[in-house]
Structure 1
Amino acid sequence: MTGPNLIKPILLILFLLSFLLSSCGIYKPSDARKVSPNVDERVQQAIEEGRGFNLGKGFGNGGTNFEFASSNELWRASLEVLDFLPLANVDYSGGIIITEWYSEGTSNDEAIKITVRFLSNEIRADGLSVIIHKRVCNKFQQCTTAKIKSTLEEEVKLAILKTATLLEKGKYEKNKEEYIKKHGAN
């Protein structure tokens, strides 16, 4: 068998294999009356039955462990510390906050822009990068922009870390109180 005569048996074998594999009982339709409308209960049932998949664990070291913005103390602390500044770009998935140009009003020819980059979810000094740019404009509104090194970077970073630590401590205290209410003090 060569050429066109070989195609028909191969197609027949592929068809039979796909039919046999699809009828192996892998797909089991569920009774809608037995499925809970509560999402949390369905998730818990799926976990207990071992259903679902995680793409992160199939490739090397596994996926990252980034939390939602509302539960990440470092993120929330950064927004609290920078709340007096207008924000230009806030990207949680990219781990960056960029403010608009800000001047204190005394001089319109100088302004700063603060960029906060999240390198980790952990509350550590090396898990956060604060960059400050300064814009200086002349009387003809010709501006130059430069990245500056100043104590303000460290002050902002320290304020974010302190606030994040307080938020985390508050979360643990709240969880501890809820646990004691639920299970009693032991």
Structure 2
Amino acid sequence: MQNFARTMMVLTVSLSLGACSMFGGGDKGEDTGPRTTAIGVNGYLWQAALDTLSFMPFDQVEPSGGVITTHWHSTADAPDERVKLTVRFMSQQLRSDGVKVFVVRQERKDGTWLTVPVQASTALQLEEAILERARQMRVAAAN
């Protein structure tokens, strides 16, 4: 249990930065809109979410509906724990509130999977990792 949680925390902490001023403040005429409108969500956020969650198998990937859902994922050091993620895209703009991550964690007890609490910071750290990756992609595209 603690090994899996520690693995998730290390992953998310290593990928994340604070979202408070991640994309700068105010409207300075910068293009924070979608990289493309064909998929219905912000292209930078979409690709950043796929990149950030690439270590997990995907179950549902719907750009037109603005949702990514993973299959259950376990690690070898914690086979009796598993995690499933859902990412919802809340805006077509590249904004810190443009993505929301939902985390479900289960533990196996007596052969039955039971849903157990997740630390509140886990979803926030994943959101921050996605936002940081999107920011990096936008900066790279501008250069």
| TM-score where L is the length of structure 2 | 0.68
Would the aligned equivalents of 1:132 and 1:149 in 2 still touch at CA under 8 Å?
Answer: no
Counterpart of 1:80? 51
SS of the residue corresponding to residue 94 of structure 1 reads coil
**Counterpart pick for 1:170 among 120, 140, 143:** 140
- 2:61 pairs with 1:120: no
Matching residue's letter, 1:108: P
| Structure 2: distance between partners of 1:137 and 1:146 | 10
Counterpart of 1:133? 104
- 2:101 pairs with 1:101: no
User: Higher Cα Rg: structure 1 or 2?
Assistant: 1
Would the aligned equivalents of 1:132 and 1:147 in 2 still touch at CA under 8 Å?
Answer: no
SS of the residue corresponding to residue 67 of structure 1 reads coil
Report the CA distance between 1:101 and its aligned residue.
0.7
Report the CA distance between 1:145 and its aligned residue.
2.3
Counterpart of 1:158? 128
SS of the residue corresponding to residue 75 of structure 2 reads coil
Alignment map for 1:10-21 (pairs within 5 Å): none
**Which of structure 1's runs of 4+ aligned residues deviate more than 4 A?**
none
Residues 128 and 148 of structure 1: CA distance in aligned 2, closer, same or farther (over 3 Å): same
Report the CA distance between 1:149 and its aligned residue.
3.9
Structure having the larger proportion of residues in strand: 2
5+ long unaligned stretches in structure 1:
1-64, 174-186
1:25-75 Cα distance to aligned partner (Å, 9 max, x none): xxxxxxxxxxxxxxxxxxxxxxxxxxxxxxxxxxxxxxxx87234981110
Would the aligned equivalents of 1:87 and 1:100 in 2 still touch at CA under 8 Å?
Answer: yes
Identity in percent? 30
**Alignment length (residue pairs):** 108
5+ long unaligned stretches in structure 2:
1-33
Structure having the larger proportion of residues in helix: 1
| Structure 2: distance between partners of 1:101 and 1:107 | 13
1:69-122 Cα distance to aligned partner (Å, 9 max, x none): 498111001001001111111111110001111112112211111111001122
Higher relative contact order (CA closer than 8 Å, sequence separation 6+): 2
RMSD: 2.2
| TM-score where L is the length of structure 1 | 0.53
Counterpart of 1:13? none
Would the aligned equivalents of 2:42 and 2:94 in 1 still touch at CA under 8 Å?
Answer: no
SS of the residue corresponding to residue 126 of structure 1 reads coil
